[in-house]
Structures are given as structure tokens and as C-alpha cells.
């Protein structure tokens, strides 16, 4: 008995054959395997989808354009000379932005003189206004300016 016969005899008990796999891949009508478990789309269904795409979406809350990303830029941060105080002020601004965003996606861009906070969502402008109101005393106290455009 050579080495190949010895390995095959060792892997299967005497008289046992290799078992066929216990699963089968479903076949489509054209003979290809149906890996996704769904039938091909009919031409009438494709025609309905094409017609719906050509007519467009109905008017509704998803088709009304709105500000989905709004910004608040605070300028004048370079007027604060004490670095510890500046770090605390930036921390307060960041905390207020997190509260105003309440889990919405935000962007945060900082330079030495300005800080830009972007809030994304269907009510982004309301959230930016809430942030501006929360920081109004701090902005007035330090003489900073705000604008709605990113830097």
C-alpha cells in the first residue's frame, strides 16, 4: 500500500465512502446558481420602476430643499491672550455645540482666530440658532463676531 492509499484509508473508516455535502445551491431557470434566493425581475416590474424614476418623487418633506448642514463661525478668538483661558473658552463652546447638536453629525474646524461648528440634520438651522443663543453672553462679553458661513 502506498502513501496515498494509506492516507485515504486513515481518513475514512473501512467501507465508508466520502459523504456528499448536505446542502444544494438553488438553481435559476437559466441554469445559473441562485445565490441571493430571489427570482429575476420581470420586464413589467422594470417598466414600472423606469416610469416612477421618470416622473420623479411626489412633493413631500423629503423633496423640499432645506438647510441640511448649517454653520456657526465665531471670529475674534485671537484677542484672548491667556492660553489657559482660551482653552477653557473653547471647551465651553465645544460643550455647548454638543448639547445643541444632540447626537447629530457635527463638524468642527478651529484656527487660532476662529472656530467653525457645522451641524447636520433636517433642523440644522434651529440647532445653530440654539447654539448661538446659548453662547450669546460669552460672545458679547469677549467682543467676538459670529457668522453663518464656514471659514
Give the rounded distance of the alpha carbon of 72 from its chain centre: 21
Span 19-77, pLDDT tens digits: 555 666 667 677 766 666 666 678 888 888 888 777 776 665 544 555 688 999 999 99
How far, in Å, are 49, 53, 146 from residue 60 at the CA level?
19, 16, 33
More confident residue, 150 or 89: 89
Separation between Cα atoms, residue 110 and residue 144, nearest integer Å: 15
Span 8-34, pLDDT tens digits: 445 555 555 555 556 666 676 777 666
pTM, full prediction: 0.55
| Residue 114 cell numbers, joined | 476662529
How far, in Å, are 7, 17, 44, 68, 146 from residue 71 at the CA level?
71, 71, 46, 10, 10
Amino acid at each position: 500500500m502506498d502513501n496515498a492509499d494509506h492516507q485515504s484509508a486513515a481518513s475514512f473508516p473501512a467501507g465508508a465512502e466520502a459523504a456528499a455535502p448536505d446542502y444544494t445551491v438553488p438553481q435559476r431557470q437559466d441554469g445559473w446558481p441562485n445565490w441571493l434566493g430571489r427570482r429575476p425581475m420581470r420586464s413589467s416590474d422594470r417598466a414600472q420602476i423606469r416610469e416612477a424614476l421618470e416622473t420623479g418623487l411626489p412633493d413631500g418633506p423629503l423633496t423640499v430643499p432645506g438647510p441640511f448642514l448649517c454653520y456657526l463661525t465665531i471670529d475674534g478668538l485671537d484677542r484672548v491672550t491667556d492660553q489657559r483661558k482660551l482653552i477653557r473658552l473653547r471647551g465651553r463652546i465645544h460643550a455647548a455645540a454638543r448639547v445643541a447638536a444632540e447626537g447629530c453629525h457635527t463638524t468642527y474646524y478651529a484656527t487660532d482666530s476662529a472656530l467653525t461648528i457645522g451641524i447636520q440634520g433636517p433642523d440644522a438651522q434651529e440647532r445653530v440658532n440654539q447654539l448661538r443663543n446659548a453662547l450669546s453672553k460669552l460672545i458679547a462679553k469677549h467682543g467676538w463676531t459670529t457668522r453663518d458661513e464656514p471659514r
